[in-house]
Amino acid sequence: MVFGLANPDRFMRFTRPLMPVVWAAAVGLLLAGTWLSFTAPEDYQQLDTVRIMFVHVPAAWLGLAAYVALGVSSFFALVFRHPLADAAARAAALPGAVFTALALATGSLWGKPMWGAWWVWDARLTSVVVLFLFYVAYMALRAAIDDEAKAARAAAVLGLVGLVNLPIVKFSVDWWNTLHQPASLLRAEGPSMTAAHLTPLLVMGLAYMMLFTALWLTDIRTEVRRRRVLTMRARAAQEA
């Protein structure tokens, strides 16, 4: 199934009818999730600020999930040298970076009322910053090499190295954090979650997942088309 889809033509044919469905699901779930987020009761401790969680937590999930998609696609691009896998890795980078940046920004907004500071260098936040840097590195490397085939190979190696390194970074940052205990600050974990908050969170998580899928597939399809145009142009130039 997966390998059958590796043929760009078959991939285009298969995903074409899927696109409206995926987009509709993404938009519908986002609307539902937003509505649920705003109608959820206030938290007895965090009051209204708890709603930031419904944006923040799914964004962090997807930031990580997109990197996994990028890394796994890079693996396939590297091992099977397949252009579609390369397009998939490339297409995951920008949405992933945006989700991660969103998680960082909303985390900062949340941190101010919760911890009294816009930013705290704790293990989890620092790991997310490093994840964001991985995305930046991937995109920068990709853009910096003019030759697309070379850029694809270099980026695939980096994506794979990043995937392997993420747990190591996570571990080392945790170790760093126990080494330097941050000064007296509230812990991030609030009281355990009630169903009233869990439902909107899960709906938003699903919405983000659909949104990422929609963006991802759209970008891959665009990339396949772009490469076709490039091929045609090169052919026209050869005849000129």
Q: Which residues bind other proteins (CB under 8 A)?
A: 117-122, 126, 129-130, 132-133, 136-137, 139-144, 146-147, 173, 176-177, 179-180, 182-183, 233-234, 236-237, 239-240
The owner of tokens 């910053």 is: 129
Shortest Cβ 145–other proteins spacing (Å) = 8
* Cβ nearer to other proteins, comparing 28 with 116: 116
Closer of 28 and 182 to other proteins (Cβ) = 182
Residue 195 or 229: the one with the smaller Cβ distance to other proteins is 229
Cβ-based nearer residue to other proteins, 50 or 125 = 125
Q: How far apart are CB 163 and other proteins at their closest, in Å?
A: 19
State the nearest-atom distance from the C-beta of 92 to other proteins, in Å.
17
CB 95 within 8 A of CB 212: yes
Whole-angstrom Cα distance, residue 75 to residue 164? 11
From residue 106, give the alpha-carbon distance in Å to each of 58, 131, 164.
11, 16, 27
Nearer to other proteins, 2 or 183 (CB): 183
CA distance linking residue 127 with residue 110, whole number of Å:
17
Name the minimum Å distance from CB 177 to other proteins.
Answer: 7
Residue 47 pairs in a beta bridge with: 43
Q: Rounded to whole angstroms, how far apart are CA atoms 237 and 222?
A: 22
Minimum distance of other proteins from residue 223's CB (angstroms): 17
Measure the CA–CA gap between 31 and 142, rounded to whole angstroms. 34
119 backbone dihedrals φ, ψ, rounded to 5°:
-150, 140
